[in-house]
Amino acid sequence: MVTLKLNEQTLVACLSGDIDHHTASSMRTEIDRAVRSSPINRLVLDFSQVSFMDSSGIGLVMGRYKLISELGGVCEVADPPPYIAKVMKLSGIERLCEITFHNSRSCHTDGEMKV
Amino acid sequence: MKKCINRMSLAFPAASENEAFARAAASSFITLADPYINELAELKTAVSEAVTNCVVHAYRGMSTGMIYMDIKLFSDRTVYIKIRDKGCGIADIGQAMQPLFTTAPEEERAGLGFAVMESFTDRLRVRSSCGSGTVLVMEKALQEKMLDDDQRDISDKSGRKLGACSPVR
């Protein structure tokens, strides 16, 4: 599932549940629709609520990085759980997207964006 | 001499919704061997990669096909996982196992499936023949559990305070 929040020029996509080949494509569609329809220069993919991820999640991050780069913005991965951070490290994705740990970002605050 | 102490076999269609089923079934069975939570998460991920490969590649252009999963638990705490399909096979296994190599970039496949399987297991073997399918075998030796580790596992499940063992939610 994806919950989207727009805050000035930053779009935060809070991902939750399992990310695999089956679930990644609908997440991709939802995020891309929001990215294309908002004047943003920063996309934050919040992984704090993700329960499982395989390399499909890496494909998801790489694809969103590509899209936001084409639009002149930057991509950031926030708060992956330790085991997911391990999969990310293995892929070298941090060379494309900064991985940040805030531990305070909430996926449930106001400002939810309906798409 | 290591002995097989438990085993299971499953067959299911190569449909993407079965990726979650396959890793849940594998995880449930391997739990019987009392693994650490991070070991279980790694094996779950490796199974997910292997099954996704079958779903995405094995039966491409065919109407449907089956995936066969066998798991054995051995007395020396080795977990043996065999995932097999009767699909198109892999023409060049060496190339397929190269990190970032993919034949499905339009589906945003990262080409990291084999790299993840290799890194999360102790041994990965792939045998394939064009037109008749692929057999993939992964083995991982689970760590011996220490007495005081029971305590760690409990706090892991309830509080998720340990950095070393990531929780399965």
For chain A, domains (ranges, CATH) are 2-113 (3.30.750.24)
Residue A19: both structure tokens together:
């990310």
Q: Is residue B106 part of a domain?
A: yes
Pick the catalytic residue: B109, B118, B139, B152?
Answer: B109
Q: Is residue B160 part of a domain?
A: no
Q: Is residue B163 part of a domain?
A: no
Walk along chain B (169 residues) and give the pLDDT tens digit of each residue: 889 999 999 999 999 999 999 999 999 999 999 999 999 999 999 999 999 999 999 998 888 899 999 999 999 999 999 999 999 999 999 999 988 888 887 778 888 899 999 999 999 999 999 999 999 999 999 999 876 655 555 544 444 444 444 444 4
Q: Is residue B39 part of a domain?
A: yes
B109 among known catalytic residues: yes
CATH number of the domain residue B58 falls in: 3.30.565.10
Q: Is residue B158 part of a domain?
A: no
Q: Is B113 on the interface with A (CB under 8 A)?
A: yes
- Output DSSP code: residue B33: G
Q: Is residue B60 part of a domain?
A: yes
Q: List own/partner pairs for B100-106 with CB under 8 A and 24 or more apart.
A: B103/B57, B104/B56, B104/B57
Q: How many domains does chain B have?
A: 1
Of the residues A23, A31, A49, A55, the best mutation for testing chain B's interface (the one with the most B CB atoms within 10 Å of its CB) is: A55
Q: Is residue B127 part of a domain?
A: yes
B53 among known catalytic residues: yes
**Owning domain of residue B118:** 4-149
Cβ pair A52:B44 closer than 8 A: yes
In chain B, the residue whose alpha carbon lies closest to the alpha carbon of A63 is B108
User: Above 90 in pLDDT, residue A63?
Assistant: yes
